[in-house]
Structure formats: structure tokens, C-alpha cells
């Protein structure tokens, strides 16, 4: 059976500098797969390439068995691959609800859109309470909730989350991670880039450790969580 996402020997460069150096991995439907590693490892570049924002210089990306090589970013969204980017990139002067509606810009099913807006409010109650408020008035954690909710509005088959816990308080980080667990329970497939390796590996089915553009270690989330080299390098243990 074909995996939902297949990445094979992916190479991405900024000019003459190769940022991603021939990585391969796959994501099966219903899984949470995480990429962990330090800054500069190539994790964000990988997600930006999968969503069509960057063009690879080599390798293959197949989504639902279809090559994404020549498909523009907006068409990739329509195929069912959504990206909640690092830094959130919400529209601060627009209301929370209008930000959510922007996530459904490719859809015409009004009843379905209303249902999914309510789903976002069910997932993130604070958004529903403040739906007419300008998004820029939200805290960092609340903006992250909005960015995730907006990505879900496209009804993705695969949701890519880039550093969802970055800059958040421990309590807000726990809420975001709990939401990822809830989304998985609802059947959402997730590719997660996360610097908090312990949190990411604790909820992931599979994980890949990236260093300087390469995948250097792969395994189940549980196995990587207990791997001695991972614990020393990424979990701060001796």
C-alpha cells in the first residue's frame, strides 16, 4: 500500500548551499511523524519544499501517489496538504473568524465551512470566545491555535506543523501538544517539526533526527525517546 507522503532523496539548495542533502522518509495515513534536530538542520526547509514554497534541486515528493514536483503551492493545498508555518503568519488586523475563513479560500461548500469553523472553536475554545476580536490581540499561544485552526480549514489529508510550541509557556505548549494528540485521535495525519524533542517523540509514531541537512537516525517515537545518543543531544541528559 502506498504511503500518503513519500519523500525520496530530496535535495534543496539556497544558491550553492545545499540545505537538504538527500533525505528520504514516508508518512502513512493516520500517523504522526516528527522531524527533530537543532536550528539549521533543514527541518523548516523540508516543510517549505513539501508545500511548494521552495523548489527541490533533486529527488521526489509523492503525495497520495502523485508527484508534486511541478505543482504550484496553491494547487498542493487543494490536493490536501496544509502547512501551519513557523512564526504563525496570521493576519493581525483581521478578526479571528476571518483568519479562519481564509484557510478555506479554495472551498465552496458553505455548510461545510461553517461546520469546520465550529470544529476549530471546539478544539480551541478561546478562539470561539473572541471570534470577532483582531487576531493581533491574541497571545503567542492563542495565535498558534489560530494558525493551526486556519490550516485545518482546508480539510487537509496531511497537516504539517512547523515549530508549534516555539516561544510558548509550558502550560500553553502542553495545550498545543494535547491538541495534536486529539487531532490524531480524530484521524488527522500530521508531519511535525518541533525543537522540543521530548514532547514531539512522546506523541509521534515515527521520528527522524536531522543534522546539517541529513537524516542521521530514524525509528519509532518511543525508541528514539529512549535512544542514548538522542537523550544526550536533544533531551539534555548526560
Summarize the confidence of residues 49-63 as an average pLDDT.
96
Flag whether pLDDT at 237 surpasses 70. Answer: no
Instruction: Give 10-18's long-range contacts (Cβ < 8 A, gap of 24+).
Output: 10/46, 10/49, 10/56, 10/58, 10/59, 10/60, 10/61, 11/56, 11/57, 11/58, 11/59, 12/42, 12/45, 12/46, 12/49, 12/54, 12/55, 12/56, 12/57, 13/57, 18/57, 18/213
Q: What is the mean pLDDT of the chain?
A: 92
Q: Residue 113 sits in which domain range?
A: 5-234
Summarize the confidence of residues 58-67 as an average pLDDT.
96
- The domain that holds 106 is classified in CATH as 3.40.50.300
Quote the number of domains for the chain: 1
Q: How many residues does the chain have?
A: 238
Q: Are 43 and 85 in contact (CB under 8 A)?
A: no
Q: What are the Cα distances from residue 237, in Å, to 106, 189, 225, 233? A: 46, 30, 12, 8
Per-residue pLDDT reduced to its tens digit, 72-120: 998 999 999 999 988 768 899 999 999 999 999 888 999 999 999 999 9
Query: What is the structure's pLDDT at 87?
Result: 72
Amino acid at each position: 500500500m502506498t504511503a500518503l507522503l513519500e519523500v525520496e532523496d530530496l535535495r534543496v539548495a539556497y544558491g550553492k548551499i545545499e540545505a537538504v542533502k538527500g533525505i528520504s522518509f514516508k508518512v502513512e495515513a493516520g500517523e504522526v511523524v516528527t522531524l527533530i534536530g537543532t536550528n539549521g538542520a533543514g527541518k523548516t526547509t523540508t516543510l517549505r519544499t513539501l508545500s511548494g514554497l521552495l523548489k527541490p534541486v533533486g529527488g521526489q515528493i509523492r503525495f497520495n501517489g502523485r508527484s508534486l514536483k511541478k505543482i504550484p503551492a496553491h494547487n498542493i493545498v487543494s490536493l490536501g496538504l496544509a502547512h501551519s508555518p513557523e512564526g504563525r503568519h496570521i493576519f493581525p488586523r483581521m478578526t479571528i473568524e476571518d483568519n479562519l475563513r481564509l484557510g478555506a479560500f479554495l472551498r465552496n461548500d458553505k455548510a461545510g465551512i461553517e461546520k469546520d469553523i465550529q470544529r476549530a472553536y471546539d478544539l480551541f475554545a478561546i478562539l470561539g470566545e473572541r471570534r470577532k476580536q483582531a487576531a493581533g490581540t491574541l497571545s503567542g499561544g492563542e495565535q498558534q491555535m489560530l494558525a493551526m485552526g486556519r490550516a485545518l480549514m482546508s480539510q487537509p489529508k496531511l497537516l504539517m506543523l512547523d515549530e508549534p510550541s516555539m516561544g510558548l509557556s509550558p502550560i500553553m505548549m502542553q495545550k498545543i501538544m494535547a491538541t495534536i494528540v486529539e487531532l490524531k485521535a480524530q484521524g488527522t495525519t500530521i508531519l511535525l517539526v518541533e525543537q522540543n524533542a521530548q514532547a514531539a517523540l512522546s506523541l509521534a509514531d515515527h521520528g527522524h533526527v536531522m543534522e546539517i541537512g541529513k537524516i542521521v537516525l530514524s525509528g519509532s517515537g518511543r525508541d528514539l525517546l529512549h535512544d542514548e545518543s538522542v537523550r544526550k543531544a536533544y533531551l539534555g541528559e548526560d
